[in-house]
Amino acid sequence: AQSVAQPEDQVNVAEGNPLTVKCTYSVSGNPYLFWYVQYPNRGLQFLLKYITGDNLVKGSYGFEAEFNKSQTSFHLKKPSALVSDSALYFCAVRDGLTGGGNKLTFGTGTQLKVEL
């Protein structure tokens, strides 16, 4: 079985400061990892993914994430937060070994609040 944990329900950060949204995962095989963002009453927007290759993945809107196999983590980061980054962020995992029928398992989400 695959699972994702997002330990923080909410993260508050001042605009201009760096932000980190934490994610840890568990899969049987090789993980396919994703970050999505959701604005109120909207669907999910893709931010970035890790399939293979460099552990540091760069994505949309200046976000990046670092895959750490030993810690089974895939934390989302941004060097300088913007108020417009305030949204709900979801980490998701798929088991690359079994394919899992493309099934994604989502974390519980982290509400990011960026304040002036």
Partner 1 sequence: GAVVSQHPSWVICKSGTSVKIECRSLDFQATTMFWYRQFPKQSLMLMATSNEGSKATYEQGVEKDKFLINHASLTLSTLTVTSAHPEDSSFYICSAPDGAREQYFGPGTRLTVT
By CB under 8 A, residue 102 contacts partner 1: yes
Q: How many residues bind partner 1 (CB under 8 A)?
A: 22
Does 20 bind partner 1 (CB under 8 A)? Our answer is no
Instruction: Mark the segment that binds partner 1 (CB under 8 A) among 22-30, 64-72, 79-87, 95-103.
Output: 95-103
Binding of residue 98 to partner 1 (CB under 8 A): no
Exactly one of 11, 13, 21, 32 binds partner 1 (CB under 8 A); that residue is: 32
The verdict on 45 binding partner 1 (CB under 8 A) reads: yes
Q: Is 5 in the site for partner 1 (CB under 8 A)?
A: no
Q: 76 - beta bridge partners?
A: 21, 65
Binding part of the chain for partner 1, among 21-29, 69-77, 79-87, 103-111 by CB under 8 A, reads 103-111
Kindly write down the DSSP assignment for every residue of the chain, as one continuous string: --EEE---SEEEEETTS-EEE--EEE-SS-EEEEEEEE-TT--EEEEEEESSS-SEEE-GGG-EEEEETTTTEEEEEESS--GGG-EEEEEEEEETTT-GGG--EE---EEEEEE-
